């Protein structure tokens, strides 16, 4: 199978969706001739024209309103934010309009809207360009939230999101854009709402999202040398959450560690922990649930502090080792 980068996989998904359905169009700041802030849209403006690859003004709230209106009118817009942080400027349209219109009109309309968010730290972009706000959106009924961690899933989940009749928020970690992996040429779909076990294990379950999946897998390799077999679950979708895959794994391993880049307090790990506490898996636990999330502070610009602000592989190793063996 051929290899593509994560960014190439996203671009291919966009191109295939646009080729297959004339209702699909792209909009966002600098996505045209410039090719996107992270060069994801590339040359799509030359392939499909400015009518379907539209540069928007620096006005996220207004552009989001256009996207919602276009979706209500029968189009399938894909709106790229330059940085996920800028979604804060468009929350009224996302949370009060896109997420609620179908409910408020008794299901007689749908909002087939996709919003793409380059997210996360690691690029030295500082506090206003490095946040992980996925849990914000996962809190809102009416929105679906996905976080692909591989090029394969980046393409498949995006195509599934474009097909979906409801608004789907796609969070793409910026550090993953250059990572490579196997990606089929055909236009396949990865189901929204289904997690995947990336590594089988028997001593502890690690549930992770986005780049933390890769760090959890790195940690699992180190732990294997110490006789600890960690099972790693890639959540892929935050809403709807695949609770059964997590429950089944915890019942097998009897321990749970949640790893995510967003601030620890009220993050996705809190929801997973509560879900396990309310499920039949609770009686299988041999130790308290551990959450590893971002520190209680904005992401620093300094590269050493930036790295220290979010979980790293060595921290995952130490936490899992302590949980399983009692040793630091």
Q: How far apart are CA 238 and CA 153, in angstroms?
A: 14
Does residue 14 contact residue 26 with C-beta atoms inside 8 Å?
yes
What 3-state DSSP class applies to 255?
coil
Instruction: Tell me the sheet residues that pair with 230.
Output: 204
Q: Exposed, middle or buried: residue 139 (CB in 10 Å: 0-12, 13-18, 19+)?
A: middle
Residue 328: which residues within 8 A CB-CB, separation 6 or more?
A: 318, 321, 322
Residue-wise DSSP of 76-101: EEEEE-SSGGGGGGGHIIIIIIITTH
The 10 Å Cβ neighbour count of residue 108 is 8
| Residue 12 falls in the annotated catalytic set | no
What 3-state DSSP class applies to 309?
coil
Catalytic residue among 12, 29, 60, 271: 60
Catalytic residue among 12, 29, 80, 129: 129
How wide is the angle at C-alpha 156 spanned by C-alphas 122 and 101, nearest 5°? 90
Residue 100: which residues within 8 A CB-CB, separation 6 or more?
A: 142
| Residue 129 falls in the annotated catalytic set | yes
Does residue 236 contact residue 153 with C-beta atoms inside 8 Å?
yes
Active site residues: 60, 129
């Amino acid at each position: 199978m051929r290899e593509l980068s994560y960014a190439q996989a996203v671009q291919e998904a966009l191109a295939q969706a646009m080729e297959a359905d004339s209702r699909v169009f792209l909009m966002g700041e600098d996505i045209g001739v410039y090719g996107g802030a992270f060069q994801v849209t590339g040359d799509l403006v030359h392939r499909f024209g400015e009518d379907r690859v539209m540069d928007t003004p620096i006005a996220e709230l207004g552009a989001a309103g256009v996207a919602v209106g276009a979706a209500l009118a029968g189009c399938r817009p894909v709106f790229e934010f330059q940085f996920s942080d800028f979604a804060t400027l468009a929350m009224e349209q996302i949370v009060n309009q896109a997420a609620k219109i179908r409910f408020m009109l008794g299901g007689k309309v749908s909002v087939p809207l996709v919003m793409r968010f380059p997210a996360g730290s690691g690029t030295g972009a500082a506090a206003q360009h490095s946040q992980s706000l996925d849990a914000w959106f996962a809190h809102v009924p009416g929105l679906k939230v996905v976080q692909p961690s591989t090029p394969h899933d980046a393409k498949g989940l995006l195509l599934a999101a474009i097909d979906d009749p409801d608004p789907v928020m796609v969070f793409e970690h910026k550090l993953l854009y250059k990572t490579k992996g196997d990606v089929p040429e055909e236009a396949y779909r990865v189901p929204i709402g289904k997690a995947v076990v990336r590594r089988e294990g028997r001593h502890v379950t690690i549930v992770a999202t986005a780049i933390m999946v890769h760090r959890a897998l790195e940690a699992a390799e180190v732990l294997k040398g110490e006789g600890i077999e960690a099972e790693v679950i890639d959540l892929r979708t935050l809403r709807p959450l695949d609770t059964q895959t997590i429950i089944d794994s915890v019942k097998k391993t009897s321990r749970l560690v949640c790893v995510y880049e967003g601030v620890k307090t009220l993050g996705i790990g809190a929801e997973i922990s509560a879900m396990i506490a309310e499920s039949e898996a609770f009686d299988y636990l041999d130790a308290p649930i551990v959450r590893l999330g971002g520190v209680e502070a904005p992401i620093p610009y300094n590269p050493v502090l930036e790295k220290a602000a979010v979980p790293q592989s060595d921290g995952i190793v130490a936490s899992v080792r302590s949980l399983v063996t009692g040793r630091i």
